[in-house]
Structure 1
Amino acid sequence: MSTGGRSEDSAQDDPIGYFLEDMNLQGKSERTREEYRRVLRRFESFLHDPGRGPSGKVTGPSEASERDSMAFISELRQSADIADSTMATYAAYLHRFYAYMNEIGTFEANPMAFVTEELDERIDTDPIRREISISRMREFVAEITHPLDRALVVTLAKTGIRVGELCNLDLRDLKLSCTVPGFNLGDRSQLDGRPDSLYISSEPTAGECYNGEKRTASNGRERATVIPVDQELGKALITWLAIRPDAVSPADPLFVGTGSGWGERLTPEQVGRIVREHAERAGWYEPGAGMAENVTPHYFRHFFTTHLRDQIGDRGIVKHLRGDVADDIIDTYTHNWGDNVRETYERHIYSLFE
């Protein structure tokens, strides 16, 4: 294979360098490429040291076995400075590297496939948190009267998106089956034929320009995701749009300020303050308490995962909606989005309105 004048030899001689160069060609940010480079070179260093691997000899990424991969993860697990969630992220980087090298025909196997599956079963990337029932969450939502605040909370609770992804939403990322006068919603090809949906891109990066606006937050997923919008979320968003100020940015953010920063895109810090104010009134937030007790914007990702997974019983669909699934798994759900993901989501998503 040859890409941009590069030869097959360059992929064989330095597969990691080849992969990182392709990430650059794909438009991945410098920060993302540096994170991959650090992890992949660390794995390469592990393979080059015969005293650390199970084979007792020098090897390279193209010859690495499942035992090599498991030994590397085991070494990470014994490092005091690496948390379980970080270890899972490292494994995901390696999995994506091997999946890509397989796809272009340079490697013949993915030794991380089995290891990643095992980690998924054993590692919970969310720490232990306060458990809130669906009925109590309904009471919480019912007490929120401001259309913006309610739309923010319902969006977080019904989609499981990260606060940065919430703040980066533009009007073009929301498609509704009904017409909302004065708004041009869902103007994206990715939403064609997918009414009542949100498009969560993988591209926005803090400090970089995206859709004509410099962003203050990054999206955390490696693969863009289309998430269904059910009737309750649609109602909350339409109610918000009815009072939404005109946006300052030409990108037309979905969520903008209604107080200080009138019409400006909301930041994660502002959303955090809004959630904290309501959580304090509910007794769910206390200054100085940790993640196990306090309800923050990220808490709703835990709430979404826990309750929807219990309802559906299909971890794959929930992981797809969260944006956690690697390419070789996520394609199953992307290609069958209408018949599988939406139908399953709408049948099982919990109600938050009385």
Structure 2
Amino acid sequence: MRIERAIDGYLRHVAVERGLSEHTSAAYRRDLGGYARWLEEQGIADTDAVTADVVSGFIADRASADPPPAASSLARLQSAVRSFHRHLVREGLSDDDPTGRLRPPKAARRLPKALTIAQVEALLEASGPAASDAQPGDLAGLRDRALLELLYATGARISEIVQLDVDDLAHGDVLRVRGKGDKERIVPIGSYARTAVDAYLTRVRPELSRRGRATPRLFLGVRGAPLSRQSAWLVIRQAADRAGLTAHVSPHTLRHSFATHLLQGGADVRVVQELLGHASVTTTQIYTYVSPDALRDVYVTSHPRAR
């Protein structure tokens, strides 16, 4: 089968039958598009002509790029190529899997970057006024405060927050979140986030809604359209600048901070896994890693003969 046709069929499969998110499907399309172009440069146009040496050559070529890709990017690329060829074998479109002996690179263990509680509080204060302090007409400020309070209160991904509908809040002090693979989970909401969101719903969203077409989306832009991921990211970046936070702050920073602060407060890792929507507890356990500096501090303060 021709490479391009096989990849198109596989991408339809992952998008429809496996229910992958639009973001993940787009990543697969980019990775496999690069794979197809590389094969074309090698004069390979048919899937049956792809051997283990060909696949290894492709991975080696990508690994030697300047600048070199991150281990996580290379691992994702290998995963896409491996999944593609395994799909061809399962569907009877290919006799052999040339990726059978392919091994993913060992990714360096990196701790998620979390803010301190004081830094989070400064970020939230800089995002917009509290409901009790808001002035008439401060629409964006109340919306931005509600957005950031909800991100930190739930640990949800930014893509999950901007996809929320108003009805997802109609369950008391919990939020219905649709995560990867369209899986739903229920996450509690603290009093600070609930107050901020209620103020936004009663004092801001009706006005924003009148400026655009009717939509069930919870968070709206100043023209009434659903708030985009890019706009939400900009809200966070501007709040970080106003708070004087020099470290890189992204939507995922609040997610990492949420998980880290819960575990530091004594939460069970399995509970945090459910709140984050992780399929495996292994993903969550990275937050339980103790740094060498932290180990040293505990040792010095706890061991009777450390000093």
TM category (shorter chain) comes to 0.5 to 0.7
Identity, in percent, stands at 15
Measure, in 2, the Cα distance between the counterparts of 1:79 and 1:39: 13
Task: Choose from 230, 238, 248 the match for 1:294.
Answer: 248
Cα distance in structure 1, aligned partners of 2:102 and 2:262? 25
Using the alignment, how far apart are the partners of 1:81 and 1:198 within structure 2?
A: 37
Change (3 A) 1:21 1:60: closer
For the residues of structure 1 that align with 2:190 and 2:65, how far apart are their CA atoms? 45
| 2:63 pairs with 1:77 | yes
Residue in 1 that maps onto 2:144: 149
Residue 161, structure 1, aligned to residue 157, structure 2:
yes
Letter in 1 for 2:189: Q
Pairing 1:117-128 to 2, within 5 Å after superposition: 118-119=105-106, 121-122=107-108
Give the CA deviation at 1:97: 2.0
Letter in 1 for 2:232: V
Q: Which amino acid aligns with 1:73?
A: I
- Correspondence for 2:2 among 3, 14, 20: 14
Structure 2 letter corresponding to 1:280: D
Deviation for aligned residue 1:243: 3.2
TM-score, normalised to structure 1's length? 0.51
Alpha-carbon distance in structure 2 between the residues aligned to 1:93 and 1:237: 39
- The alignment's TM-score, normalised by the length of structure 2, stands at 0.58
CA-based RMSD: 4.9
Please point out which of 215, 221, 224 is paired with 2:182.
Answer: 224
- Would you say 1:177 and 2:171 are equivalent positions? yes
Of structures 1 and 2, the larger Rg is shown by 2
Structure 2 unaligned regions, length at least 5:
17-21, 132-141, 289-307
Contact preservation (8 Å) 1:94, 1:112 = no
3-state SS in 2 of match to 1:229: strand
Change (3 A) 1:75 1:196: same
* CA contact 1:69–1:115 (8 Å) conserved in 2: no
Aligned to 1:250: 214
The alpha-carbon distance between structure 1 residues 317 and 71, as it changes in their structure 2 partners (threshold 3 A), is farther
Distance 2:90 2:258 in 1: 33
Q: Which residue of 2 aligns with 1:198?
A: 177
In 2, the alpha carbon distance for the partners of 1:305 and 1:74 equals: 36
Greater share of residues in helix: 2
Q: Secondary structure at the match of 1:276?
A: helix
Number of residue equivalences:
253
Q: Which residue is 1:321 aligned to? A: 277
Tell whether the 8 Å contact from 1:102 to 1:109 is kept in structure 2 after alignment.
yes
8 Å CA contact 2:3, 2:36 repeated in 1: no
CA distance in 2, matches of 1:161, 1:64: 39
Contact 2:166 2:218 in 1 (8 A): yes
Q: Cα distance, 1:153 vs. partner?
A: 1.3
CA distance 1:110–1:253, change in 2 (3 Å): farther
SS in 2 for 1:228: strand
Unaligned runs of 5+ in 1: 1-12, 50-58, 180-194, 201-220, 286-292, 323-329, 334-339, 349-354
Structure 1 residues 31 and 272, CA, compared in 2 at 3 Å: closer, same or farther?
Answer: closer
